[in-house]
Amino acid sequence: MTVNVNEVIVMTANGTQKCLGEYKGQVLLIVNVASRCGFTKQYAGLQDLQNTYGSKGFQVLGFPCNDFGAQEPGTITEIQTFCSGTYQATFTLFDKIHAKGKTTEPYTTLNQAEPSGDVEWNFEKFLIGKEGNVLERFKSAIEPNSVEIKTAIEKALKN
């Protein structure tokens, strides 16, 4: 089943609604992030991807999530300050979401992507193509700077 995010409405960090369809034509990496997780160091790799591919039509979209071990307890302002101060992260962070159980968008839609099911932990990644279709799903342990993710981004940018 093809999963498309163009109609998905999410909440921005400042509390306004945004349709992911506004990103049509760009390649996206959507990630549920947390500031107190063993994978938190992946913020640096996510920012590296943004720096490397951003000018080519690529965006990292981070969605803070406190569903896994209560590892993102802060407010959105605290999270933004942590990310920019600790990792010099400039990619877009959205409002906090739920990625499992009673999910909130974009995860109500993303969790339908194969292999379908709830996100299993922080820093699970979904690669979205230029037309808004989910192309790949990467588990938390797959580092942002892995050959697997970079190859998939480069392929998506060429299509």
pLDDT of residue 1: 72
pLDDT of residue 103: 86
Q: 3-state secondary structure string, the chain?
A: CCCECCCCEEEECCCCEEEHHHHCCCEEEEEEECCCCCCCCHHHHHHHHHHHHHHHCEEEEEEEECCCCCCCCCCHHHHHHHHHHHHCCCCEEECCECCCCCCCCCHHHHCCCCCCCCCCCCCCEEEECCCCEEEEEECCCCCCCCHHHHHHHHHHHHC
pLDDT of residue 72: 95
pLDDT of residue 157: 98
pLDDT of residue 102: 84
39 close to 140: Cβ distance less than 8 angstroms: yes
Neighbours of 127 (CB within 10 A): 21
- Domains of the chain by start residue, with CATH: 9-158 (3.40.30.10)
pTM for the model stands at: 0.96
pLDDT of residue 141: 97
Q: Compute mean pLDDT per 10 residues along the chain, 159 residues long, and list them.
A: 94 96 98 95 97 98 96 94 94 95 92 91 97 96 98 97
Active site residue 83: no
